[in-house]
Amino acid sequence: MRDIVKKVIAGDVRTVARLISDIDDGLPEAWEILKRLYPHTGNAYIIGITGAPGVGKSTLVDQMVGLFRERDLTVGVLAIDPTSPFSGGAILGDRIRMQRHSMDKEVYLRSMATRGYFGGLSRSTRCAIDVLDAMGKDIILVETVGVGQDEVDIVKSADTTIVVVIPGMGDEVQAIKAGILEVGDIFVINKSDRDGAEATHNDLQNMISLAQQKYSRKNWVPPIVKTQAVQGEGLSALIEEIDRHKHRLHAEAAAGKAARKTEQIREVLAEMLKDRILEKVLDSLVRTGDFDRTVEAITDGKLDPYTACDKLLQDKLNAGFQK
Q: What is the 3-state secondary structure (H, E, C) of the chain?
A: CHHHHHHHHCCCHHHHHHHHHHHHCCCHHHHHHHHHHHHHCCCCEEEEEEECCCCCHHHHHHHHHHHHHHCCCCEEEEEEECECCCCCCECCHHHHHCHHHCCCCCEEEEEEECCCCCCCCCCCHHHHHHHHHHHCCCEEEEECCCCCCCCCHHHHCCCEEEEEECCCCCHHHHHHHHCHHHHCCEEEECCCCCCCHHHHHHHHHHHHHHCHHHHHHHCCCCCEEECECCCCECHHHHHHHHHHHHHHHHHHHHCCCCHHHHHHHHHHHHHHHHHHHHHHHHHHHHHHCHHHHHHHHHHCCCCCHHHHHHHHHHHHHHHCCCC
User: Which residue ranges of the chain lie beneath pLDDT 50?
Assistant: 84-91, 116-120, 149-150, 171, 177, 323
Looking at residue 73, its pLDDT comes to: 97
Looking at residue 236, its pLDDT comes to: 96
Rounded to the nearest 10°, the torsion over CA 305, 311, 315, 317 is: 90
Q: Residue 114 is which amino acid?
A: T
* Crossing angle of helices 259-288 and 305-319, rounded to 10°: 100
How, if at all, do strands 139-143 and 107-113 pair? Answer: unpaired
Looking at residue 44, its pLDDT comes to: 96
Neighbours of 51 (CB within 10 A): 30
Looking at residue 309, its pLDDT comes to: 92
Strand-pairing partners, residue 224, are: 187
**CA nearest 108: which of 75, 134, 131?**
75
Domain boundaries along the sequence of the chain: 40-256, 266-319
CA atoms within 13 A on the CB side of 226: 14
Looking at residue 226, its pLDDT comes to: 96
Tell me: domain 40-256, CATH 3.40.50.300, correct?
Answer: yes
Looking at residue 119, its pLDDT comes to: 41
